[in-house]
Structure 1
Amino acid sequence: MGGSFVVTGGGRGIGRAVAERLRADGGSVVAIELDPAALAWTADAGITALTGDASDEAVAERAADLAEAAGPLAGWVNNAAVFRDASLHSASAREVLDLIGANLAAPVVGCATAVRRFIAAGTGGAIVNVTSHQARQAVPGCTPYVTAKAAIEGLTRALAVEYGPRGIRVNAVAPGSVRTERYEEFLDGLGPDGAAGIERRMGELHPLGRVAHADEVAAAVAHLLSSDASFINGATIPVDGGRTVLAQDPEAHNTP
């Protein structure tokens, strides 16, 4: 896979797995990450690190410049997200709206930057937005995250039909639970018995009997960015082991 790519939230978890996969496939990669400590590994991996907020247009433009300096911009992955729960009965409407905006802003900025660069270059390109099973299977107490991820899937479809004629494909992947650093830290905080209980429940929620590995999500992203997916446009691909098909999801936070 040639060309250059930008991955937001590229320092940890799914974002890191995507960046590493694209680099292994022969692409040049720029990883945007808010936390500079999360980018310490990039130098050894041959990945260009950019510390900053992916929702900042200046940061996105800088990432695009760095990517194009290494080769034609071929793809952009909007992975950065904010994980904070809130419910309308206990949080102000303004707080909920701000959290929705925090999760929606980075993909909008990333898509805008990528689309403009693709059009300017006249080459076309591919965008992949990382959403969540929660976009279709809401979890109580997670209203801002659910709403933002559903909006990102709508954004994916809207851009696919608007820019498809220009050779720009826009798709999304919707993971279920994924074994990332954040997931492992959550389990560690529960102790052995609590962690074992969560692992059992996660196995029940996912028909494949386990949560995903980050590189399994990265593989789907890499496919959508590749020429092998040249006629896939406007799609949201579940990478959830069948979790949304099973539709058994009793997770709840801060219910009334």
Structure 2
Amino acid sequence: MRRSYVVTGGGRGVGRAVVERLVGEGAHVVAVEKDGAALEWMDGHPERGRLVGVAGDAGDEAVAERAADRAEERGPLAGWVNNAAVFRDASVHSSPAGEVLELIGLNLAPAVVGCAVAVRRFLAQGGRGAVVNVSSHQAQRAVPGCVPYVTAKAGVEGLTRALAVEYGARGVRVNAVALGSIATERYAEFLAGRSRAEAASIEAEMGRLHPVGRVGRVEEVAGAVAFLLSEEAGFINGATVPVDGGRGVLARDPESHDLPGGDGAS
């Protein structure tokens, strides 16, 4: 029987690339997306029979449970990818603390909920499964003006380590990928809103921030995630793997806040 996976934020960008990578490897994949319209691409996909879309908030436990049910209808749940994120900035000097906390929760809740549902399902089926949480270089290298996102991603990496320790001996592995800037739709829209000269300047700066000389491709992230989910990564647990072209070790950050952050947004 084919294995099944759940990918949150699976309608666009990195999430969609992960969905397509896994289904291309022969799996059944359930994509969770708050914006149901972002799942319409599935209708014309050549592997439509192995794709399931669930419209809803990945931070809602009922939505996550529904996604898990849909996945298990098609095969044993083998992995869960927590990619859903919210990109709204705030600073503590200009925003009420309650607003900052709410924004932190909007980014952290989907990972906590996804991990909780995945771990329960893995344990119920005998204790085998893998979770990959999508983090950011910002978890370790803060960018001014991004307090909620930075704090939430640091929490995601702490959650990754805690669950890896608690459930590793029971067959559940939990890892994370920390992304640099990735050429998602959000990144393209950011550039499209600038003049040609300004966009060229931004791209040049992105090249300088990443030692490989460019931003990443969604397919490159998907490849790393698929590996961490696979049995080939069976001895990797509790790790945060940089998928950032070396950005995290270059020590040029923090950059100006008007440049796009490393979000892997979907």
What is residue 71 of structure 2 aligned with on the other side?
Answer: 67
Matches within 5 A, 1:63-142: 63-142=67-146
What is residue 233 of structure 1 aligned with on the other side?
Answer: 237
What is residue 261 of structure 2 aligned with on the other side?
Answer: none
Tell me by how many angstroms 1:251 deviates.
2.3
| Paired positions, count | 254
1:146 partnered with 2:150: yes
What is residue 221 of structure 1 aligned with on the other side?
Answer: 225
Matches within 5 A, 1:1-256: 2-45=2-45, 46=48, 47-253=51-257
Task: Specify whether residues 2 and 208 from structure 1 end up closer, same or farther in structure 2 by C-alpha distance, changes over 3 A only.
Answer: farther
* Unaligned residue ranges in structure 2 (runs of 5+): 259-266
* Unaligned residue ranges in structure 1 (runs of 5+): none
- CA deviations on 1:123-157 (whole Å, 9 max, x unpaired) are 41000000000001100110100000000000000
TM-score, normalised relative to structure 2: 0.94
Tell me by how many angstroms 1:44 deviates.
2.7
Q: Secondary structure at the match of 2:73?
A: helix
Q: Secondary structure at the match of 1:89?
A: coil
Tell me by how many angstroms 1:2 deviates.
4.4
Q: Is the 8 A contact 2:180 2:247 kept in 1?
A: yes
Tell me by how many angstroms 1:72 deviates.
0.2
Q: Is the 8 A contact 1:141 1:252 kept in 2?
A: no
Q: Is the 8 A contact 1:4 1:27 kept in 2?
A: yes
Q: Is the 8 A contact 1:36 1:51 kept in 2?
A: yes
Tell me by how many angstroms 1:163 deviates.
0.4
Tell me by how many angstroms 1:43 deviates.
2.6
- CA deviations on 1:49-97 (whole Å, 9 max, x unpaired) are 1100000111000000000001000000000000011101111111100
Q: What amino acid does structure 1 have at the position aligned with 2:148? A: P
Give, in whole Å, the separation in 1 of the partners of 2:188 and 2:219.
15
Give, in whole Å, the separation in 1 of the partners of 2:158 and 2:96.
25
Give, in whole Å, the separation in 1 of the partners of 2:222 and 2:32.
16
Give, in whole Å, the separation in 2 of the partners of 1:252 and 1:160.
35
TM-score, normalised relative to structure 1: 0.97
CA RMSD, 1 decimal = 1.2
Give, in whole Å, the separation in 2 of the partners of 1:218 and 1:137.
23
Q: Secondary structure at the match of 1:201?
A: helix
Give, in whole Å, the separation in 1 of the partners of 2:198 and 2:27.
41
